Amino acid sequence: MESILASVNCPADIKSLTIDQLRQLCDEIRDELIEITSKHGGHLGSNLGVVELTVALHKVFDSPKDKFIFDVSHQGYVHKILTGRKEYLHTLRQTGGCSGFLQREESEHDHFGAGHAGTALSSALGFAAARDALNTDDKIVAVVGDGGLGCGVSLEALNNAADTTKDIIFILNDNKMSISPNVGGMSKYLNRIITDGRYNHFKSSVADLVKKIPGIGSSLKNGISKVEEAAKGLLIPGVIFEELGLRYFGPVDGHDIEELISTFKKLKELKQPVLLHLLTEKGHGFEGAKNDPEKCHGFKKKEVTSKDSNALSVTKPAGLTFSNIFGDELCQLAKKDDKVVSITAGMLSGTGMQKFKDAFPEKVYDVGIAEEHGTIFAAGMAGGGLKPIVGIYATFMQRAMDCVYHDICLQELPVIFCMDRAGIVEDGPTHHGIVDISFWRSLPNLHILQPRDATELRQMMNMALDFKVASVIRYPKTDSSDLDVNRDELVLGKSEVIRQGKDICIWASGRECEHALQVASILAPKGIEVKVVNTRFLAPFDQTALLKDSQEMPVITLEDHMINGGLASICSEILTNKKHNGLVAKGYPSEIIPWGKTKDIRQQYGLLPEQIASEIEELLKK
């Protein structure tokens, strides 16, 4: 069979395709997605779920004149394939290659970049307002998942939609999943629309009745779909959306390409705010993704072990990650203290909390993709006498910064924030956890801790449980194996020396201690003795030890964070107007750090151990 995908290089190439050809195209796109993600990793399940939806959008509408805004945009691979980037997508997540999200600078078809949930509806309303003000006739279509719809900002946009424009299309991609299964009232409401007992009872009763009509029962039953749709509209309309001024359509099968095209053609002619409710399946057409949607939401590299069974072999990290240790220690803390509870924002698996949920289901609160709510919720828990431990990625936690200050720090509430993915990650600028320390260290009544390894993370979690104020424990998405070096008693605000030296001192933050030790090992045979200090605490900070080291030898700061606002800034502020032997900062500059392999990114910014060692040699020569 001749490939249709091979001849598709832009949206215009699918305009003349028949329904059968479009179905074949969808099958070929799924094969392409599986092939690419099996080599490079990526968001497989979410993209498999929107194949027909994206193809239908490009069939009916005219991109880039008409604008598609995807919430999160991690489901944009199909859109990229159809807009001239099918070859480029084979460089997915590679250094200098294709981003896993939409990027305005990557294509004229990408009108709004994203990486976090909850941005599509608001930005789409902004585009619609701009169109209305400029008197153009482009259509604005926003695609949001049922997980993203529960975000506070999405609900704010829904509330404002009818007052903003009379011409916009919201598509609700309802697959009952974000990263973890969706939770909350909105998700339950959407599920009731689908499963409402009155409608299902009515449907089965009518079907049974029609079949009993002599002679014409079977043929009449085959044409009853219009009656079913009418009954559905009468019995279970999208009341919430209608009350907000949106005309509600659905639910519609999101994998029926013919029905989607027919529906989009009708919606294109309407001049009113509408919401189309689609039912899709995350990982549709691929059993490996369907059977384990959380693991296939976003992953590193997988291997397709059997095309017949669509099975996946998951590549596991060599050792236990900080996420694993966090989940395990949560269990230990809960066993010792019945006031311990945990909160996450739709990321049970990613943060390592699944083990805790299995052991203590009544102590886990998954608030969905609602970091602000989760933060203030934790404040209320702490105020009520519980000991909440919040597990959220560092980059997502940035969305609730003001809540930490206003609702927790000002009231001296002892909430513990354990922030995974603190540092560079492969997904790029929307997911790098490298800009937050500058904010956290500006807050009163907040301790900032960074563990070097698994044992230290456990110690810090136990220590934080006794704090009278809030704390932030930051750690990267890496192996957490214990470092085989000196380990001092953990004392609040005190650093530890993990390698002695007299020529130069590296103050390292968190897991960067491992890289600092590697630098010291490279330089030792050359007669250069490097002292390595594990910073441990960024707030309170060990000023006494830093001042002593800086007076004896040059100091280098090493951090998986931006230099401005991070460890280097802390040290620079302490040493201002003080006599010292020099301070060199090693971290990331204040610019957009790209996506790619973490080793490649470190190399680009001179942060590999061998690069730092070479720089130290030159420094000491001078």
At 241 the three-state DSSP class reads helix
At 539 the three-state DSSP class reads strand
15 is catalytic: no
- Two tokens at 118? 């909850």
Element (DSSP H or E) covering residue 201: helix 197-211
To the nearest 10°, report the CA torsion of 190, 194, 198, 203. 160
Angle at 397 between CA 395 and CA 398, to 5 degrees: 70
229 is catalytic: no
Report residue 558: phi and psi, to 5°.
-130, 120
23 is catalytic: no
- Tell how far CA 422 is from the center of its chain: 13
In angstroms, what CA-CA distances link 483 with 342, 510, 514, 516, 538?
A: 28, 11, 7, 12, 20
- DSSP E strands in 412-509: the ranges are 416-420, 446-449, 470-474, 496-499, 504-508
Q: Kindly name the residue from 176, 357, 399, 536 that is annotated as catalytic.
A: 399
Report residue 380: phi and psi, to 5°.
-65, -40
Q: Are 261 and 59 in contact (CB under 8 A)?
A: yes
**Residue 31 burial by Cβ neighbours in a 10 Å radius (0-12, 13-18, 19+):** middle
Secondary structure letter of residue 94 according to DSSP: S
d(CA 184, CA 530) in angstroms, rounded, equals 53
Q: Kindly name the residue from 282, 357, 387, 531 that is annotated as catalytic.
A: 282
d(CA 7, CA 5) in angstroms, rounded, equals 5
Secondary structure letter of residue 404 according to DSSP: I
Q: Kindly name the residue from 28, 329, 371, 514 that is annotated as catalytic.
A: 371
Show which residues are catalytic.
Answer: 282, 371, 399
